[in-house]
Chains A and B, each alone.
Chain A
Amino acid sequence: MPLAVLATSLLTAILIFPLREDQVRLRTAFNLIGSSLKLFLVGVIFWGVFQGYQFEARLPFLDGLVLSLRVDSLSLLFVTLSAILWFLTTIYAIGYLEGSPHRSRFFGFFSLCVTATMGIALAGNLITFFVFYELLTVATYPLVVHRGTGQALAAGRVYLIYTLTGGTVLLLGIAWLHIVAGPIDFAERTGVVLAAATYPTTMRLIFFVILAGLGVKAALVPLHGWLPTAMVAPAPVSALLHAVAVVKAGVFGIARMVFDVYGLETAATLGVLQPLAIVASITIIYGSIRALGQDDLKRLLAYSTVSQLAYIVLGVAIVGPLSSLGGLVHLLHQGMMKITLFFCAGLIAETLGIHRISEMAGVGRRMPVTMGIFTVSAIGMIGIPPVAGFVTKWYLGLGGLAAGDRWVVLVLAASTLLTAVYFLPIIASAWFRRPADEWPVAGRIEASRMLLYPTLATGLLSLAAGVLAGVPFSPLWLATLVTAEIYGP
């Protein structure tokens, strides 16, 4: 079953690559069938897990190592997020790239990216995780440089330098861990626990080496430099990069490290969580401060991502069910809200040719639906109820207090204030200031349906995740399941 989930997108990629540029219908059909099928399979897995089925697939890899794909609640969380947002992004991307060159290449790598992300989500041991993690790096590069401009290629270079270095460091860490603690399976922690008791200093060092590797994709300060540069990618790529694929892979990896490789108890005993929480807090504040000065909308969103991702890391780094819940639920919430914001930025750029915040005066009156969705998501990012972000902030704050770390609340408050300072003026200006001059294109009011509907869907999801937080299958509900599994009965 986990193999089938991977296969749907891998097959799509294989089918799309050889297509000619003008075979639009066939390509679109493959894309939609692939992503719908995956959505369906994830649904089946969901159902299966509740029926008590164990999904696992194992393949022999290099000698002594096994590639393992397994479904647990944490992977379910990530798989669900990826499947839903990928489905919507596929529709958006088809609309967005209509008529532009190299679409077969684009969608081919796009599907490869999904495959890699699904692999990361379903990986059952550290080696499998690493293989897909690197596949993701490689599959994303052509998407970042898709436009082929000088700027895009330069950004792609920065991206590769950062992520490949990160990957190497990660490999080093994993190899070292294998030497010290034996092969790492996420369901089995005895090796690490034993090693931590015997060689605590080495295990601490390994933790930070692996963290440094993962921290690149997770965009932890000071390893975040590639992310604002990579925003030159086309809007759907940026959206995925910031919501599901690359950065989430890093954060998901950190969550796996803390929860399943070391285990909260061992990590806490080793004392590695406190530094992680501090790095996360610095990242939260630093990202917000950097976002303040930006005039390029996508750049601002990129810095906002840096800040918001660290919320997840902060939640993971503080021991206690409420913090973990806050962090894990933000894995979903941040994805939904940020993908919406990037979709909106793409719509505004496509329809009005606007990329800069200083040009956004009056956009709300020109594209009310888009800007309405943008407003809801931005308010969610600030953490104002009833949008999703509030739920995160609430549990992170309570978790911090529960763990006796009062400074967490102050970090959250400061970040809320900064986020409000960089988002609210955009919103106010878009709705209430008059545009400097007439809009260039008179035609359509909003973007085409192909672009607008996925945006609307993710926007509504962000709102519903907050308003209906108490409903079964809500992000909060899912995250509660994961937390329950982590902390045991």
Chain B
Amino acid sequence: MTTSILLAFTAAPTVLALCLFLRNRLGAAARRLAPFAALPVVLLAIAPLEYPLLDLDWLLLGARFELDAVGWVFLIVAAIIWTAAGVFSASYLDEEGREGYFFFFLVTMTGNLALPLAADAVSFYTAFSVMTFAGYGLILHIADRQALRAGAVYISLAVVGELFIVVGLMVAVRAAGVLDLHVLPSAIAGTPQVGTITALLLIGFGIKAGAVPLHVWLPLAHPVAPTPASAALSGAMIKAGVLGWLRFLPIGDVALADLGLVVLTLGLTGVFFAAAVGFLQDNPKTVLAYSSVSQIGLMSLPVGVALGFPEAAPPAIAAVTFFAAHHGLAKAALFLGVGVSSVGFRSRLARTAFTAGLVFTALTLAGIPFTSGKLAKSGLQTVAHLNSGTGSAIVYPLITLSGAATALLMTRFLILVIGRSREPERARPEVGIWLPWAVLVSCTVLLPIAATEPLQRQLGVASSIAPLSIAEVLSIATELWPIVIGIAIFAAFGWRRPEWVRGSVPPDVPPGDILYPFELATRRLARFMRHSQKAVRAGRVDRLGAALYELYADTERGMLLGRLEAGLTRWAMAVVLVLLLGATVFLVLSL
């Protein structure tokens, strides 16, 4: 009963979305309610209720819903973020195109909120698809050139991701013979195709999560979507990929050392690669998108460890879940912060309060002591200790060092936002603008207080909230060194290139980094296809050669104009960087 109520409130936003367009009182009511559509889910999730298994034979291919501990964390965080983003949107957006925006907003939300509830493979995949395809509308909302390009990249990768997932699920369900998510992972573990299935699902969900090297859509899509939509995308939606990993991968049931190693390598590569490319960017939202890619790298580490060492699975799941919650709240707060700063402030006090909140959230992400970031990182480190195999010596220090990477990104972000907020678009921020931001910041502050004890219980480490001794204060001070390193790198780089700090030159590596060569090649190939098609249709097969020459000449012209050359150096840096980093990490890990 409780589960059906929760499910009904999860599905309600879609009904609301359809009513938005009505030109009567119902439509007006829907438009007023739309920003708060996720609020009932927040309340139901907070309420001390159980949500037991609900069997709906008539829905899809026999749907099952349930809310377990992991799902609960994902649900409540997503619902808080969507509520904050909804309220923010209501004040932030222009009147024009508002209904269209909220339509996609609400449908995406439905998919996202139904996901943690889904207890069978088909319902999960359905919710996932609804979210993915409705999210396309959010990215395209502004509908300028950039948005259309970002949308094209997003949807291409999304469709490929869906393919990997559906093929993975088909093979899994066929081999395992069940749809039920309680038993599917362990059933997958017992099949001969376990490696194939795991690889397919890692890739399929990895695209949504934004794991390197499948992350290219993220730095393009997040800046073009309206700010509150970016907050929901980066805070809640990419976590769906992480949840997919947790729900389907056979972690804890079988040791897949090779795949585990690949995940660890790509994860660590992503952490530092995304930081290196991200801090070059000149748009604060792009910087945040790269930060998300970097953080997803961290979130994939426990998954990698647990794939290799089944006994590490329970703490790994706890660590990933907490990390996802921490990152979701902090990242959504940072995105909304970009929006708040663009609106401007009423007083110096307001500006100071905002800056303090923004800096705190940024530091939280970098993992300073007493924040959820620190707690999340200690979770990762606990799991890293369980990695008793190859390369165990390197994972732990690299997790610590990731603080430097995050600090680098966050310094860049803060300078861009605070530098920008001097030119407000609107003079008076409304409650609907700053309140959702403040709520998210408060949630970030409160998270460690609420979650330390249960997390440590899950991780199996002794809880110690002892009063501060001098030794501990000293140790805290020493924990800050990665952050100091990050800021120092930034300062060194900025001292050499002040015009870059001001953001007056384009970034050395364009957003989308390793996508660039692919795009270039695709465009050239498409032109070649058009020419050759024309030649064939005209019956002039001899013209095929001409088309081929055209392709060559085109490339040549590009070279001469220096366009391609400039492009080459720009993306070559990204590619070399990702390859070098990956190779190094892999070598060290497999020593």
| B533 to chain A: closest residue by CB | A293
How far apart are A116's CB and chain B's nearest CB, in angstroms?
35
- Which of B61, B100, B170 makes the CB contact (< 8 A) with A397? B170
Residue B60 at the chain A interface, CB threshold 8 Å: yes
The answer to whether A397 and B140 touch (CB under 8 A), given A402-B174, A409-B171, is no
Do B58 and A471 touch (CB < 8 A)? yes
8 contacts between A and B (CB under 8 A): A293-B533, A398-B170, A409-B167, A433-B148, A467-B59, A470-B59, A471-B58, A476-B61
Do A468 and B59 touch (CB < 8 A)? yes
In the complex, identify which listed stretch (B125-133, B231-239, B564-572) lies at the interface while the others stay far away: B125-133
Do B61 and A393 touch (CB < 8 A)? no
Mark interface residues in B59-82 (1 if CB within 8 Å of A CB, else 0): 111110000000000000000000
Kindly list chain A residues whose C-beta atoms are within 8 Å of the C-beta of B159: 382, 416-417, 420, 424
How far apart are B162's CB and chain A's nearest CB, in angstroms?
7
Q: How large is the interface on B (under 10, 10 to 19, 20 to 34, 35 or more residues)?
A: 35 or more
Name the residue among A390, A417, A432, A466 with the largest chain B CB count within 10 angstroms: A432
Top 9 A-B pairs, shortest CB-CB distance: A385-B126, A401-B174, A397-B170, A432-B143, A470-B58, A432-B140, A471-B58, A420-B159, A386-B126
Mark interface residues in B189-224 (1 if CB within 8 Å of A CB, else 0): 000000000000000000000000000000000000
Apart from the given pairs A390-B126, A401-B175, A466-B60, 4 other A-B contacts in the complex at a CB distance below 8 Å = A413-B167, A424-B155, A431-B140, A434-B143
Mark interface residues in A382-400 (1 if CB within 8 Å of B CB, else 0): 1111100011011001100
Do A386 and B174 touch (CB < 8 A)? no
Report the Cα distance A113→B252, complex, angstroms.
Answer: 61
Report the Cα distance A382→B155, complex, angstroms.
Answer: 13
Residue B328 at the chain A interface, CB threshold 8 Å: no
Residues of A participating in the B interface, judged by any CB pair closer than 8 Å: 293, 368, 379, 382-386, 390-391, 393-394, 397-398, 401-402, 409, 413, 416-417, 420, 424, 428, 431-434, 466-471, 476
Report the Cα distance A391→B59, complex, angstroms.
Answer: 12
Residue B542 at the chain A interface, CB threshold 8 Å: no
Kindly list chain B residues whose C-beta atoms are within 8 Å of the C-beta of A402: 174
The answer to whether A431 and B133 touch (CB under 8 A), given A409-B170, A409-B171, A470-B62, is no
Do B155 and A469 touch (CB < 8 A)? no
Report the Cα distance A471→B57, complex, angstroms.
Answer: 8
The total of interchain contacts (Cβ-Cβ below 8 angstroms) comes to 87
How far apart are A450's CB and chain B's nearest CB, in angstroms?
22
Residue B163 at the chain A interface, CB threshold 8 Å: yes
Do A433 and B60 touch (CB < 8 A)? no
How far apart are A69's CB and chain B's nearest CB, in angstroms?
34
The answer to whether A393 and B166 touch (CB under 8 A), given A420-B159, A428-B151, is yes
Do B58 and A401 touch (CB < 8 A)? no
Kindly list chain B residues whose C-beta atoms are within 8 Å of the C-beta of A413: 163, 166-167
Do B61 and A417 touch (CB < 8 A)? no
Kindly list chain B residues whose C-beta atoms are within 8 Å of the C-beta of A397: 166-167, 170
| A364 to chain B: closest residue by CB | B100
Residue B525 at the chain A interface, CB threshold 8 Å: no
Kindly list chain B residues whose C-beta atoms are within 8 Å of the C-beta of A470: 56-63
Report the Cα distance A154→B137, complex, angstroms.
Answer: 42
Do B170 and A384 touch (CB < 8 A)? no
Do B170 and A385 touch (CB < 8 A)? no
Do B59 and A394 touch (CB < 8 A)? no
Interface of B is mostly: helix
Do B163 and A385 touch (CB < 8 A)? no
Report the Cα distance A434→B167, complex, angstroms.
Answer: 36
Interface members, chain B 119-149 (any A CB < 8 Å): 122, 125-126, 129-130, 133, 136-137, 140, 143, 147-148
Report the Cα distance A383→B162, complex, angstroms.
Answer: 10
Do B122 and A428 touch (CB < 8 A)? no
Kindly list chain B residues whose C-beta atoms are within 8 Å of the C-beta of A471: 58
Kindly list chain A residues whose C-beta atoms are within 8 Å of the C-beta of B175: 401
Residue B21 at the chain A interface, CB threshold 8 Å: yes
The answer to whether A384 and B129 touch (CB under 8 A), given A398-B174, A401-B170, A416-B163, is yes
- Which of B60, B61, B130, B171 makes the CB contact (< 8 A) with A401? B171
- Which of B56, B129, B151 makes the CB contact (< 8 A) with A432? B151
How far apart are B152's CB and chain A's nearest CB, in angstroms?
8
How far apart are B148's CB and chain A's nearest CB, in angstroms?
7
Do B58 and A384 touch (CB < 8 A)? no
| B63 to chain A: closest residue by CB | A470
Name the residue among A382, A391, A420, A468 with the largest chain B CB count within 10 angstroms: A420
Name the residue among B60, B163, B167, B533 with the largest chain A CB count within 10 angstroms: B60
Do A433 and B143 touch (CB < 8 A)? yes
| B104 to chain A: closest residue by CB | A431
Report the Cα distance A434→B160, complex, angstroms.
Answer: 27
Kindly list chain A residues whose C-beta atoms are within 8 Å of the C-beta of B57: 470
Mark interface residues in B152-176 (1 if CB within 8 Å of A CB, else 0): 1001000110110011001101110
How far apart are B427's CB and chain A's nearest CB, in angstroms?
31
| A429 to chain B: closest residue by CB | B148
Do B155 and A428 touch (CB < 8 A)? yes
Report the Cα distance A397→B533, complex, angstroms.
Answer: 34
Kindly list chain A residues whose C-beta atoms are within 8 Å of the C-beta of B60: 385-386, 466-467, 469-470
- Which of B21, B122, B148, B171 makes the CB contact (< 8 A) with A385? B122
Do B58 and A468 touch (CB < 8 A)? yes
Do A417 and B160 touch (CB < 8 A)? yes
Report the Cα distance A466→B130, complex, angstroms.
Answer: 13
| A466 to chain B: closest residue by CB | B60
How far apart are A1's CB and chain B's nearest CB, in angstroms?
30
Kindly list chain A residues whose C-beta atoms are within 8 Å of the C-beta of B126: 385-386, 390
| B148 to chain A: closest residue by CB | A432
Report the Cα distance A383→B21, complex, angstroms.
Answer: 27
Report the Cα distance A80→B143, complex, angstroms.
Answer: 43
How far apart are B372's CB and chain A's nearest CB, in angstroms?
35
The answer to whether A417 and B163 touch (CB under 8 A), given A391-B61, A434-B143, is yes
Mark interface residues in B81-101 (1 if CB within 8 Å of A CB, else 0): 000000000000000000010
Kindly list chain B residues whose C-beta atoms are within 8 Å of the C-beta of A393: 166
Kindly list chain A residues whose C-beta atoms are within 8 Å of the C-beta of B63: 470
Report the Cα distance A200→B167, complex, angstroms.
Answer: 37
Kindly list chain A residues whose C-beta atoms are within 8 Å of the C-beta of B160: 417
